[in-house]
Structure 1
Amino acid sequence: MSTVNLPLSLLDLAQVGPGETVRDALAQSVELAKLADAGGYERLWYAEHHNMRAIASAAPAVLIARMGAETSRIRLGAGGVMLPNHSPLAIAEQFGTLAELYPGRIDLGLGRAPGGDQATFAALRRSPAASDAFPRDVVELQQYLRGIPTESGVVATPGAGTDVPLYILGSSLFGAQLAAYLGLPYAFASHFAPAALEQAIELYRNEFRPAQTATGLSEPYVIAAVGVIADDDPERAHDQLTITKRQRAKFLFGRGRDLTDDQLDELLDGPVGRQVDEMVRYAAVGTPEQVRRELSEFADFARADELMLAPMAYDREVWSGTARALAPAPAP
């Protein structure tokens, strides 16, 4: 039972673990969705990533449609859709469809990063310059979802009138400023890019302008993401953190090499290790009681209204056990 006095949510990357297929990973995501629904989590989000063999969440809208059929109350959403990869109309239609299928349960988090590399951008038939249009695209997307006529006269069907709640995602001051200007909730990616957390939240709260719409925010709302590994055996939990660090070092700095654990540990002993340690600066690891205490302290530090937990363990038993142990309500 959680003792963190604010809403808790989950982020699922549909991680493909060692020895797993994509089908295996997606089956695990279905089970996590059921657990999250029964366990009282506020929302469950999926992040758009491309060209990453260990992550199977390239199509958040498809995952959300599947999980909606497996759950009954939890909010489901993208955390997020990388809007530069798509036209606002296409996203309005996708999430408008989801909102009609699962009314009152769909969120749409929006990111400005491409969620992939230059080759991925080319494969998506997009240009890196598309990121420059992000603020304009967010406003256009809002218009489609609200049913406000655009200059082109195009109406999103489904989509118009669904008013799917939008969230601006980010790890820098840009997203914080945009969310504040538009009067939207802001979700900070402190689970992997924590450097600007304090400055971004301060800027967002200080510059927030109430939204001039019936469904907009009247005051700021901050979601802070944090990595978590919880197990009754604290040594096991910290062993999983070590494995997570090795995998991040391999992914970010291994240059495609098949490195041994000893070689990865050598990497982690140098500058690479300092970068990886920075990425997990706000990870809460240990027994469930220790993790809950760390989450409560982090929530106060981040001035968060909600925490988005990102289970990091590669061991599936620890991964799902973490979500179960930290659930706001006992899961069956």
Structure 2
Amino acid sequence: MSAMIPFSILDLAPIAEGSNASASFRNTLDLAQHGERWGYQRYWLAEHHGMPGIASAATAVVMAHVAGGTSTIRVGAGGIMLPNHAPLVIAEQFGTLEALYPGRIDLGLGRAPGSDQTTARALRRTLETDADAFPQDVLELQDYMSDAPRQRVLAVPGKGAKVPLWILGSSTFGAQLAAHMGLPFAFASHFAPQMMMQALTLYRANFQPSAQLAKPYVMLGFNVFAADTDEEARLRATSMQQAFVNLRTGKPSRLQPPQPGYLESLGLPERAMLDSVLSCSAIGAPETVGRQLQEFIARTGADELMITSQIFEHEHRLRSYEITAEVHQSLKRAETGL
């Protein structure tokens, strides 16, 4: 499978221990500006609520911050958790973004709450909204943003907005919906890879062409912790490992400093959990990362990779994305013989 596929950035706007949301947003814009120069295709932010280490709860607002400080990179939500919102509100928000930054906005849609049930109730004031109604919500949103809405209520801005919709998923449900609707499919393999290959097979086999998309298009989440040496990269990765262990044990935290010997300090259950959730990862120096990226692309046939690098120090995070971009260019040169 070709290494010519685009690479993009998924930013969870991490709040590092000892830092705050203001610094997180400054770092987000700085990373987006660097990513634009390094040739990344798109820059996505994710909706999470009540998470001490994630600042992108007001996803559309942070997107406006990023789009306003860049000029060519696509900016998107990866994603908006639609059960938390009235589809009309999302149509208006993304219609506004598209009017401000035409031709640069993406809208990825997920059906998870992006929070716990208590936070979901606070967001919605009621839990009557049903995640199983997600397909109907997507259709309603799609109609609001169409050129000729069937509903009496108009989304202004929003009507006629040319914002590509994506379906996000970590199971076969999203794959089936994306295939049925003829939409691109983004799979959360960077933290929930267990059903990845089954979902991809299902999506590709059942895809129905639509006005937006003629053939299946798959973007896969992939963790990269790149540094100048394998040892340094393994150390950088321990911040993300701590975040997962803290989350799974009910103690979500800000992104912690790297901790030497962290993996060795864990019990077998925690190590098995990390091996599972972070199995779609590249950790190492440029040569190591390049080999692992090639293997992942060849195994999955991905049309695009969404790279995430949850690294404590901002300059080390920048370096990881820079190395990934350099590796990408090297792989493309090797493939073309140039």
The residue aligned with 2:232 is 236
Partner of 1:56: 55
Q: Deviations over 1:29-72 (max 9, x none)?
A: 01001011111110000000000010001011101111111111
Counterpart-to-counterpart distance in 1, 2:9 and 2:169: 17
Counterpart position of 1:308: 306
Distance, in Å, in 2 between the alignment partners of 1:66 and 1:326 is: 24
The aligned residue for residue 186 of structure 2 is 187
Alignment of 1:100 with 2:96, yes or no, is no
Amino acid at match of 1:311: S
Counterparts of 2:182 and 2:287, CA distance in 1: 36
Letter of the 1:24 partner, please give it: A
Q: Residue by residue, what CA displacement relative to the aligned partner does 1:309-328 show, whole Å, maximum 9, x if unpaired?
A: 00122232221111122225
Contact 1:183 / 1:218 at 8 angstroms: preserved in 2? Answer: yes
What's the CA shift for 1:251? 2.4
Other structure's SS at 1:202 match: helix
Asked whether 1:26 is paired with 2:25, we answer yes
Gaps spanning 5+ residues in structure 2: where? 331-338
Q: Is the 8 A contact 1:205 1:220 kept in 2?
A: yes
Answer whether contact 2:224 2:324 (CA < 8 A) is retained.
Answer: no
Please say which of residues 175-184 and 317-326 is displaced more in the overlay. 317-326
Query: 1:132 matched to which residue of 2?
Result: 132
Q: Are the structure 2 counterparts of residues 274 and 307 from structure 1 closer, same or farther at C-alpha, using a change threshold of 3 Å?
A: same
**Quick one: which of 296, 299, 302 aligns to 1:298?**
296
Which whole-Å CA distance do the structure 1 matches of 2:25 and 2:202 have between them?
37
- Give the match's secondary structure for 2:214: coil
Partner of 1:170: 169
In structure 1, the partner of 2:219 is: 223
Alignment correspondent of 1:150: 150
Percent identity (aligned):
46
Unaligned runs of 5+ in 1: none
Q: Structure 1's 283 and 149: CA in aligned 2 closer, same or farther, altered over 3 A?
A: same
CA distance in 1, matches of 2:219, 2:71: 23
- Asked if 2 retains the 8 angstrom alpha-carbon contact of 1:229 and 1:318, the reply is no
Match of 2:267 in 1: 269
1:276 is displaced (CA, Å) by: 1.9
Q: Deviations over 1:122-164 (max 9, x none)?
A: 111241742111000101111111133234x011110111121
Structure 1 CA distance, aligned partners of 2:198 and 2:253? Answer: 37
- In the TM superposition, 1:246-261 aligns within 5 A as 246-253=242-249, 255=251
Shift of the 326–126 alpha-carbon distance from structure 1 to 2, 3 Å rule, reads: farther
Classify the secondary structure of the residue corresponding to 1:194: coil
Relative to structure 1, is the Cα distance of residues 262 and 317 closer, same or farther in structure 2, using a 3 angstrom cutoff?
closer
* Higher deviation after alignment, 292-301 or 70-79: 292-301
2:317 and 2:249 mapped to 1: Cα distance? 24
Q: 20-29 vs 241-250, which deviates more?
A: 241-250
How far off its partner does 1:109 sit?
Answer: 0.2
Distance in 1 between the 2:329 and 2:75 partners? 18
Moved more, 6-15 or 235-244: 235-244
Which string of whole-angstrom CA distances, capped at 9 and with x for unpartnered residues, describes residues 10-42 of structure 1? 000000112111111111101001011111110
Distance 1:267 1:172, change over 3 A: farther
Alpha-carbon distance between aligned partners in 1 of 2:119 and 2:32, rounded to the nearest angstrom: 28
Change (3 A) 1:257 1:108: closer
Deviation at 1:265, TM superposition (A): 5.4
Amino acid at match of 1:142: Q
Which secondary structure does the structure 1 equivalent of 2:305 belong to?
strand
The match for 2:287 is: 289
Q: CA RMSD, aligned part only?
A: 2.3
Distance 1:129 1:273, change over 3 A: farther
Q: Residue in 2 aligned with 1:80?
A: 79
What is the identity, as a one-letter code, of the residue corresponding to 1:47? Answer: A
In structure 2, do the counterparts of structure 1 residues 69 and 262 end up closer, same or farther at CA, with 3 Å as the change threshold? closer
Q: Which residue of 1 aligns with 2:333?
A: none
User: Residues of 2 paired with 1:291 and 1:241: CA distance?
Assistant: 13
Distance 1:67 1:237, change over 3 A: same
TM-score (norm 1): 0.92
